[in-house]
Amino acid sequence: MPRPITSVADLQALARRRVPRMFYDYADSGSWTESTYRANEEDFQKIKLRQRVAVDMRNRSLASTMIGIPVSMPVALAPTGLTGMQHADGEILAARAAAKAGVPFTLSTMSICSIEDVAENTDAPFWFQLYVMRDQEFSNGLIDRAKAAGCTALVLTLDLQILGQRHKDIKNGLTTPPAPTIANMINLATKPRWVYHMAQTKRRTFRNIVGHAKGADNLRSLGKWTAEQFDPALDWDAVKRIKDRWGGKLIIKGILDPEDAALAAKSGADALIVSNHGGRQLDGAISSIAALPPIVREVGNKIEVHMDGGVRSGQDVIKARALGARAVYIGRAFLYGLGAMGEFGVSEALRCIRNELDITMAFCGLRDIEKVDANILAENPFAVGPKKKR
C-alpha cells in the first residue's frame, strides 16, 4: 500500500526518484553557492507563531483576493521554466490542478507547453509571465498572444536581464529535450514513468518560442537564440510601454529593494512580487521573507504586495501574510508534486498547503485569513518600524 502524502517534502522525495536528474536539478537548485536559495527556506523557520486557545474555531475561511480576483486561499502557482520537462504536458496539468483548487496558475515565457496549448486544454483563465527579449517584435507578440488567449493578468519579470550561473545546469549539460549522451541515456533508463509519459506528447521544446521567433526554428538555433535574447537594457520606460500595450492587470516580479518597490508602485502596476527568483539569480541576496517587511512599509498602502521564495508549507503562507504579503506564489512546491505524480501531485501539494494553512490559522486563534496580521507572531526577526515621514 502506498504511503500517504502528508507534506510537500514527501512529494519532493518522490520527484527526486522519478524525474531525470538534469530536470530535477534544474528545479531544485540556486545560483553559485546556493546561499540565497537556502536562506529562502531557512528564514521562514526563524519566525515563531503565537498559539491561542479557548476561542471559537468553527466556520474558518481562507478565501481572499489577488489583484481583485477571488481565490480560495492566498496562493498562486508561480511561473516556472521547463515545467513540461518535470512531467509531460506539465503546464497543462498544473493549470488544471490550480483551477480545481481555485488558485491562479502563471505560465512562464520559457514553458514547454505554449500559451495556446494551455488555453486550448484548460477551462479556467490563467496568467502569463513575460521575459523581455531584445527582439521587441517577439515580445510584443507574446503580449498579444496572451491577450488573445484570455489571460487575466501579465506578470512582468524584471530580475532576469542577464542569467545567473547555476552550476548544476552546467554540469548536467541541461538541454530540452535531453541530449542523447551516454550519461543521459543511463539516467533515463532509471525513469521509466517519465519516459513513458514523455513519449505520449509532442510538446518537448519551448513552444512559446519555436515557430514564433525569427532564428529559433529548431533545437540548435533555439539554444543560441535564447542565450542572446534576454534584454539587459530593460528599464522603467520599457515597463511603461509594456503596461500600455497589455492594457490589463499588471504584476511586477523580482523586487527586493524598497527603492525599486517605490518605482514599481509609481509605474501603475496592480501588484509587485517580492522575489529573488528562488535564489537562482543573485547569490548572496537576502531572502524574500526578510525583504518583505521593509517593502510593505514602503509601498504597502500604494500597491498590492505579493511574495515568493522558499514557500513549502501552509505555515510559510501564514507567516508571509502576517508580515504583510497579500498572497504568495509556490514554484518548487508544485513542481515536486508535478514530477512525482502529475496533475494529482500538484493537487496534493495544494491540498497539503491548504490543510497546513487552515490548521495553523486555527491554532493562532483566527477563523478568517483576512484577519491575519503580525499579532499572530511570537518572534519576528524581520520586523521593521513604521515608515519615516519625508
DSSP per-residue letters across 115-170: HHHHHHH-SS--EEEE--BS-HHHHHHHHHHHHHTT-S-EEEE-S-SSPPP-HHHH
Cis peptide before 177 (omega within 30 of 0): yes
Return phi, psi of residue 324, to 5°: 115, -5
Q: Is 331 annotated as a binding residue?
A: yes
Q: Which helix (H) or strand (E) holds 308?
A: strand 304-308
Provide mean pLDDT across the span 240-253: 98
**pLDDT surpassing 60 at residue 105:** yes
Residue among 328, 304, 293 at smallest CA distance from 314: 328
Which is higher by pLDDT, 225 or 232?
232
Cell reading at 183: 550519461
Q: What percent of the chain has pLDDT over 90?
A: 87
pLDDT of amino acid 218: 60
**Can you list the alpha helix ranges (DSSP code H) found in the chain?**
8-18, 21-27, 35-45, 90-101, 115-121, 136-148, 167-172, 182-189, 192-199, 219-229, 236-246, 258-266, 288-299, 314-322, 332-363
Distance of CA 329 to the CA centre of its chain: 5
In the annotation, is 212 catalytic? no
pTM: 0.96
Provide mean pLDDT across the span 126-138: 95
- 87, 167, 277, 306: the catalytic one is 277
Residue among 49, 102, 124, 129 at smallest CA distance from 350: 102
192 Cβ contact list (under 8 Å, min separation 6): none
Q: Which helix (H) or strand (E) holds 76?
A: strand 75-77
390 pLDDT band, cuts 50/70/90, is: low
Q: Hunting for cell 527556506 — which residue is that?
A: 41
Q: Is 129 annotated as a binding residue?
A: yes
**Domain boundaries, given as residue ranges, for the chain:** 8-46+58-361
Burial code (b: 16+ CB inside 10 Å, e: under 16) for 111-130 equals bbbbbebbbeebeebbbbbb
Mean pLDDT of the chain: 95
Q: Is 108 annotated as a binding residue?
A: yes
Contact 75, 351 (CB under 8 A): no
Residue among 333, 332, 299, 339 at smallest CA distance from 314: 333
Q: Is 166 annotated as a binding residue?
A: yes
Helix (H, G, I), strand (E, B) or coil at 283: coil
Q: Which CATH topology does 8-46+58-361 take?
A: TIM Barrel (3.20.20)
